[in-house]
Amino acid sequence: MFNLTRRHMIAATAGAMTAIATTRIAAAQQNGAATDGGEGPFKLPPLPYGYDALQAAIDTDTMHLHHDKHHAAYVANLNAAAKQAPQIADHPMEQLLANLDQVPDSVRTTVRNNLGGHVNHTMFWEIMGGTGAGPTGELAAAVQRDFGGLDQLQTAFNVAGAKIFGSGWVFVTITQEGKLGMEARPNQDTPLMEGKRVLFGNDVWEHAYYLRYQNRRADYLSAWWKVIDWTKIDERYAAARQGKLTI
C-alpha cells in the first residue's frame, strides 16, 4: 500500500527513471544543455541532443524556451513544494502521481500540475531526436494490430491533439501485455495518474509550437512526426513489456 511516511531511496528512483535514456543523457552533457531547476531533489534532465536538432519540426528558440524556462519552472516549483513537504521526494514519481489523494493538501495541486509537467516533458525530450522513420518489429506489429497501421495511428493522434481545448497532451499508452491505446489529457495531467504507462506523447500547449506555427496547431502536429525517434519508443515498448517502464 502506498504510504507517504515510508522512506525510499531517491537515488534508486532516479536510476530507474533514467535507465532507458542513459546514452542520451551522456550526449546531452557533452552538448552542455541547461540543467537548472533550483536546489532540491527534483532535477531538470538535460536535452539528449542540441537545441537545433529538431529543426524539421521545432525551432531552436522554442526548444530553449520550452526546456530551459517552462520545464525548468516545473522542476523549481516541485523543489519549492518539497521544502514544505519533504516526503514527496521519497517516492517514485509514477507512484506519487497515481496516489495524489495521499499527497498533503498544502502541496497537492502544485504536485499534480508540476510533477505532471515534469514527467510529461522528461518523456517528451526522450522520444524525439530521430528522423521519423517508422516503428519496426514487435512495436510495428502492435501499431498494426491496435490502430490499423502507422498512417491510421498518426491520423487519429493528430485529430485527438487538434481537439484538445486549450492546453494539454495526447498520449499513446501501453499495458504490460503490449496493448496500445490513445488518450488526451488537459493541462499537465497524465495517464500515470490512473496507474497507466505512457509509450509516447506530444505537447499541445501553445508554448510548444507558437513561435513557428502561431495558431496552426494542426501543422505542428503533422510536422512533429518528422522528429520522432522510433528506436527510443521501441526501447520504451520493450521496457513496458518487462514491467520496467516508469515514466
Q: Which three cell numbers stand for residue 51?
A: 537545441
Q: What is the pLDDT of residues 71-111, one digit of tens each?
A: 999 999 999 999 999 999 999 999 999 999 999 999 999 99
Q: Round to whole Å and give the CA distance between 247 and 13.
A: 11
pLDDT category of residue 18 using cuts at 50, 70 and 90: very low
Residue 28 has pLDDT above 60, yes or no: no
Mean pLDDT of 60-68: 98
- State the pLDDT at residue 13: 36
Percentage helix, strand, coil, to 5, in the chain? 55, 10, 35
The answer to whether the CB of 228 falls within 8 A of the CB of 127 is yes
Mean pLDDT over 22-44 rounds to 57
Q: What tens digit of pLDDT does each residue of 158-180 get?
A: 999 999 999 999 999 999 999 99
In sequence order, the 6+-apart residues with CB closer than 8 A to the CB of 226 are: 56, 57, 131, 132
* Segment 117-156, tens digit of pLDDT: 999 999 999 999 999 899 999 999 999 999 999 999 999 9
Predicted TM-score of the model (pTM): 0.86
**DSSP secondary-structure letter at 165?**
-
23 or 171, greater pLDDT:
171
Average pLDDT over residues 189-202: 98
With 70 as the cut, is the pLDDT of residue 17 above it?
A: no
> In the prediction, which pLDDT does 4 show?
54
The CATH code that applies to domain 10-30+56-247 is 3.55.40.20
Question: Quick check: 117 and 188 in contact, CB under 8 A?
Answer: yes
- Residue 27, pLDDT > 70, answer no
Instruction: Report percent pLDDT > 90 for the chain.
Output: 84
Mean pLDDT in the chain?
89
Better-predicted residue by pLDDT, 54 or 10: 54
The number of beta carbons lying within 10 Å of the beta carbon of residue 143 is 23
- Would you say residue 21 has pLDDT above 60? no
pLDDT at 37: 74
